[in-house]
Amino acid sequence: MTEIGPYSNYRLTVRLQLANTPGMFAKVAAVLAEEGANLGAVDVVSATADCMVPDVTFDVRSEAHGEQVLARIRALPDVKVLSASDRIFLLHLGGKIRVESKVPITTRNVLSMVYTPGVGRVSQAIAKDKSNAYVFTGKGNTVAIVTDGSAVLGLGNLGPEAALPVMEGKAMLFKELAGIDAWPICLNTQDPDEIVRTVQAIAPGFGAVNLEDIGSPRCFEIERRLKTALDIPVMHDDQHGTAVVILAALTNALTVTGKRMEDIRVVVNGLGAAGTACCRMLLAAGLSHLIGCEPHGIVLRGDGQQLRACRTDLTSCMTPNHPQGTLQDALKGADVFIGLSVGNILTADDLDLMAVDRIVFAMANPDPEVPRELAASHCRIFATGRSDYPNQINNALAFPGIFRGALDVQARDINEAMKLAAAKALAETIPPAALSEDYIIPSVFDKEVVPRVAKAVAAAARETGVARRRNKLSDDLRRGDG
């Protein structure tokens, strides 16, 4: 049963009309208690001698639980439910993002400069030299968030319309954390050829492309083809953003436990988009002993040299139809478990198969591969993707800084060196003296994260020759504030 935590996503505010008699509200409170709903605020909207109208806020476990509670309240004599609102849906009313002008159009003179005829001179300058688009338009600070709605969060193939609120949220993170203008591009096709052609067609208006919530294995082909075809950065965040944060968290976890990357044995369970990218990133960082598992068992194993040689296409090293053992076989003597799969597949006995000072990253959402209350006493370090536990591995720690750094130098690509630099900078955001079992990765609200990651990514882009601009503009000029 899902617990009701301090940040419940199922909070209802219900407006009731009650008979104004002693003990009437106590009956409502009793129903909430019987149903296990957490009573919050009670605000009286109006009252007369005959009736009282309060707004009652309470948390429930799920939508179904909320409907059950409302049915019980409606069944009470002398109680009428006037309205019921869900704060999540209220927050999304009308969408969460909008476009705003940087220059107020208050006079005819301003209008003639920002639009015709004055804008024509700027268009001619860009026609003579396309690189001027980075100077005189928002291209250099704009990201297209492209999805086909085939893998929305952990909810599955919901389609482009259902993906839109998620992409709007992603755009908010780009803006709030890194000052980047991003826009959702939700495509009504799941054909790789059509997706590639569409993104190529719209690319002139953007400085980078963030592929999002596109199902595996199509996401690999789409990213590869777009990276080849376009001269702007393309990154599938579900793969690489997650992998960067995992590497940063593991780097600090190894510091806490006194282990070394080249010595440890790592088990990755779930070789979809994120799992495969995680394997590639860890091998690039020097990992020597890796086992990859799917639901039917071990499908990827080998020494570091062998796997590193095929890390650009790990599928060539996989044996999907011939598992080489079970997940439990893989865990024997392993130092690290990284779960990018489904919840509640591990037991305490499974964890006890691992080496001492074991590190467990259980990132299935909303339920980790092993519950925290069970794992806490059976591993040295425990991390999840949840915000209500310590050590949240959240790709929002990576993508804002990665794209900020790439845009700052007008990079043509986001390459392996840039991602490794991002992971190193993210790990080093926490001073060594501050590291602990419950603090191996910084918060998404840590103001140091994006600048550190962006600086490291920009430097790596210059060093690897993918940067067009050697010296970035000042933040004020770049963001149009100067």
3-state secondary structure of 386: coil
Report whether 87 contacts 11 (CB < 8 A).
Answer: yes
**Closest to 243 (Cα-Cα) out of 352, 336, 123, 340:** 340
Report whether 380 contacts 359 (CB < 8 A).
Answer: yes
* Catalytic residue of the set 170, 259, 419, 424: 170
* Catalytic residue of the set 7, 96, 115, 130: 115
CA end-to-end span of the chain, whole Å? 53
Q: Is 115 a catalytic residue?
A: yes
- List of residues 6+ apart from 448 with CB closer than 8 A: 429, 442
Q: Is 455 a catalytic residue?
A: no
- List of residues 6+ apart from 408 with CB closer than 8 A: 454, 458, 469, 472, 473, 478
Report whether 79 contacts 73 (CB < 8 A).
Answer: yes
Residue 113 token pair? 């400069």
Distance (Å, whole) CA 374 – CA 372: 5
Q: Is the peptide bond before 442 cis (omega within 30 degrees of 0)?
A: no
- Match 């990859």 to its residue by tokens: 292
- Match 């208690």 to its residue by tokens: 33
User: Annotated catalytic sites, by residue?
Assistant: 115, 170
